[in-house]
Structure 1
Amino acid sequence: MIPRKGGIFMLQVAAYCRVSTDKEDQANSFEAQQRYFREYIQRQPDWELQGIYADEGFSGTSTSKRVEFNKMLHAAELGQIDLIVTKEVSRFTRNTVDALQITRELRRRGVGVLFLNDSLDTRTNDGELRLTIMSSFAQDESRRTSERSKWGQMRSMEKGVVFGGSLLGYDVIGGKMTVNPEGAEVVRLIFHKYLQERKGCSTIARELREAGILSSKGNCLWSSATVTKILKNEKYCGDLIQKKTYTPDYLTHEKKYNHGKEPLVALKDHHEAIIDRETWQAVQRELSRRNRATGCGGHGNRYPLSGKIRCGECGKSFSHRTKKRQDGSSYYRWCCFTATNEGLRRTDGAGNTIGCSVGRQIRDDIAMDLLRRSVNAVTLDKKSIISSLARVVESVLASGEDSGEQELRRLELEFEKLQTRNDTIHDRFFDESITKADYQRAKARCESEMNRVQEKIAAIKQRQTLNTDTQTLKPDIRTAITGIVSGRTADDAFYGHLLQQMTVYRDGRVEVALNLLPAKWVYVLDELEKYRAKIGGHDASSVPMSVSSPLSSG
């Protein structure tokens, strides 16, 4: 509050509103609401307008994207606001949890919220109870609105209306797809290079970049993933599949990939095809064949050395590749990602430096051998390590026997509180403090929470019945740890965890750095003489593979 002349304290009052996304309605609505709140606040003798905050079109179910709303809350935290005025609960938030959390935090800071149309003031004793009921209504209305919107979208999709933006080769306007001739030519070129010229997606992406061909985003930043996505897109053979993503929670609006959670909407021969169906199907078979041949599929660190081998020239990671020998057998190797996708280092037509000239690859078995050599070269007190690790594992097992007691007591206390709340809901209904509809909703929520707590209690009690015999396990634990530390039973994944980084340089050096160790090991790969002669060097070592003494990294 700010003192005014005469010693009267003025409440600093902020107004909040959400306005329509329609430009004309937006301007009219914002102007009208500004005028309304300004006049309303001016009529109060001890109020002073702090500011009017308005967000356009964002959903009331979530506060995360409402910039002005969060700006207003920040001002309240700084003590610049004493009271917030808004028209109704649904304008403020339609999420019951958010409504309670925000108003409680504001009240803790001495800031009230007045909902004019709902005649609700959080500064009063029953304000929170009434806010819970009103925000529950608003949240339920959001749920019904979301369901109606989903239903309408599904019916439109079934009629062939396209949801989404334009893509390479197609313009999407007013829910209809029409062929874009320039983009269509690029699509046909990609399919031809892949199927007829037998080129890989990385090669195609590099050639498109070098040719200066624009993507759907208007740039030349082609990648193998972009090419793969185009080759798999069913729209290019005239089909349309929608609902590939869905929104499981109407409160968060977070989209997820639809892996069978909701039915897809598939329409065959929906629009003009750019690629004939026979060619498109042949490409899908070829994608599958190459995928099986290379053993690829999915993403993530599938290999122990994934993301840990770096290029000494460009700094990018080495990627995993499969190479076939003349006899038909295969082996794995690691190659510079930049060199594979962009070729040798050079300047493109736009003046950008692209590519990498490291000129080095490393076989997976050789890389693992270098890593094992480095680990085995470390002088360690293995007996002490084995004893320490065994003690740690045994203590964890021992502590796990009664680890659920504290959580069990907390859950049992929470269940008692829920039972008391359930009784209170019954009492409020019978003394007519709440309506039957409010009673049913509150009772359902309370019983749902009680069931959830009961399930957690049952799970902890079941876990406590499993008696871990640590004395029996001790010999097995020590044997397993001894095998790992000595290297007898350690697998590639174990060694991969020990590696901090492996760097491959143009001159054939391979530098190995282990986690938590200040030293580095440097190896020299075979054929170094030939490589040095090729690049004009004359100081190469004649030893095919050698190891230097550990180098201090400090």
Structure 2
Amino acid sequence: MRNITEITRRQLPLLIPARLKVCAYVRVSTDHREQMNSLENQTQYYKHLISSNPDYEYCGIYSDAGISGAKENRPGFLAMMEKAKNNEIDLIITKSISRFARNTLMLLKYVRELRDMGVGIIFEEERVNTLKSEGELLLTVLAAVAEEERKSVRGNVRWAMENKCKRGEVMVDANRLLGYDKDAQGNLVINEGQAAIVRQIYRLYLEGISGYKIARILNDQNIPTYTKKPWSSQRILRIIGNEKYMGDCLMQKSFVNDNGRQIINRGQRAKYLIENNHPAIIDRKDWEAAQQIRESRRKKAYPLSSMLRCPFCGASLTRVVHERRWVSWICATYLRKGKAKCPGMRIADGVLQEIVKDTPVTEPVVVEGVIYGKGRKKRSQEDFRLIPAAQYGGFKRNRE
């Protein structure tokens, strides 16, 4: 006869579940005051939301301001991902899909990476939890819809801006335009203090002084740049080439492509020139004369361009015309940043041409000086030698 004996279930000890380590991610696309206020409000909201939940352990707020969600290189976002990899986060709360990532592929990449680490994301507006079974399907559909909506909005914005250009409605950021402010009606007006700097730049340029030397003069005179950076030849030349200083305004110099990137308009879109739009700082004839000088100085294609290297830093040697009389090749690092960054290699063009007669240059070469002792003021081809850059091992040694 069979006997059935019940084996009493062993009672397991009561386990108190550990609290989830929770953080929030917030992002605003610009650093304008209104959006920065929004960032602060979101930060306070999520801090209270997480701290007030007894099941959550508050692990901080990660944020980015003025950075597009289409970019992966976001400091706050990357710091949060690093914490997740170190097992310091269990759950991330964010406002919406668009705050987390701006395209479907990037979104799914990070969602899956976090899910594989056991980290979930809650998107509040869409009410999606990525750790639930239906989470990724919903997320894929919603992200694709959101991406199409952004493309549609981008197209509408582009259409509206082009129509403004056609109507002659000027859109200029005076904060980035040295010499001008905006009045109460939004019109450009001359800032005389800054305009004096612009006039000085044009005067020096029309006297034949290069952009590099003008930048050095302004820095030596402690002339303010109204930015965090010192004067540079690039900024001088941007000022020289800016049509706004003669009172005109060329609209749509750049545009946003379908991927959300700012692109220089090289003929892909129409441009709109509005003449005599605002008070001029520079006389039209002087502005046009400056453009002729600039055009005459544009780099020409020389056989040795990009073929010569500095033995100290490895930078290319740049062809420089001195006082329209003689030519030399000088280290680009030395020209841009001075002797503090590189002692600089310099060789006269005449000497270089004599060398290449005997040693044709067919690949990048290092121009190394040969030291024969002091007392030789004029250097000849015997004072230099050309060494193939691929065989040269002195860059590191010279830097040290």
Match of residue 398 from structure 2: none
Within the alignment, does 1:28 sit opposite 2:41 as a pair?
yes
1:68 aligns with 2:76: yes
The equivalent position to 1:226 in structure 2, one of 235, 260, 266, is: 235
> 1:168: which partner in 2?
178
Residues 1:503 and 1:164: Cα distance change in structure 2 (over 3 Å)? farther
Q: Where in structure 2 are the equivalents of 1:106-505 lying within 5 Å?
A: 106-154=114-162, 158-163=168-173, 165-171=175-181, 176-195=187-206, 197-217=207-227, 221-223=231-233, 225-250=234-259, 253-288=260-295, 290-291=296-297, 296-297=299-300, 303-304=303-304, 306=306, 308-310=308-310, 318-321=317-320, 333-335=328-330, 361-363=348-350, 364-369=352-357, 372=359, 492=361, 494=362, 496-497=363-364, 499-503=365-369
For normalisation by structure 2, the TM-score amounts to 0.73
Whether contact under 8 Å (1:58, 1:66) holds in the other structure is no
* Structure 2, unpaired ranges of 5+: 1-12, 29-33, 395-400
How many Å separate the matches in 2 of 1:102 and 1:185? Answer: 52
**Larger of the two Rg values belongs to structure:** 1
CA distance in structure 2 between the aligned counterparts of 1:109 and 1:341, rounded to whole angstroms: 47
Distance of 1:127 and 1:280 partners within structure 2: 61
CA contact (8 A) 2:311 2:367 kept: no
CA contact (8 A) 2:367 2:386 kept: yes
Name the structure 2 match of 1:547.
none
Corresponding residue number in structure 2 for 1:10: 18
Percent identity of equivalent pairs: 24
Separation of aligned partners in 2, 1:246 and 1:216: 26
Deviation string 1:98-134 (CA, Å, 9 cap, x unpaired) is 1211111122222233334434332333322221001
How far apart are residue 29 of structure 1 and its match?
Answer: 3.4
Instruction: Report the Cα distance in structure 1 between the residues aligned to 2:303 and 2:333, rounded to whole angstroms.
Output: 19
For residues 172 and 502 of structure 1, do their structure 2 counterparts lie closer, same or farther at Cα, with a shift above 3 Å needed? farther
Distance between the aligned counterparts of 2:162 and 2:217, measured in 1? 40
Measure how far apart 1:320 and its partner are: 1.0
Distance in 1, Cα, partners of 2:244 & 2:219:
24
- The residue type paired with residue 35 of structure 1 is H
Give unmatched runs, 5+ long, in structure 1: 346-352, 373-490, 521-554
Report the CA distance shift for 1:187/1:77 in structure 2 as closer, same or farther (over 3 A).
Answer: same
Residue deviations 1:129-171 (CA, integer Å, cap 9, x gap):
2210011122223223333444454455541231363333223
SS in 2 for 1:165: helix
Q: Secondary structure at the match of 2:112?
A: helix
Deviates more, 1:125-134 or 1:314-323: 314-323
Aligned length: 365
Q: What's the offset of the Cα at 1:257?
A: 1.5
- Shift of residue 97, structure 1, vs aligned partner: 0.8
The change in CA–CA distance for 1:201 and 1:504 in structure 2 (over 3 A counts) is: farther
Contact 1:19 1:56 in 2 (8 A): yes
Contact 2:64–2:76 at 8 Å: present in 1 too? Answer: no
**In 2, distance between residues paired with 1:103 and 1:176?**
47
Structure with greater helix percent: 1
User: Following TM superposition, by how much is the alpha carbon of 1:89 offset from its aligned partner in structure 2, in angstroms?
Assistant: 3.0
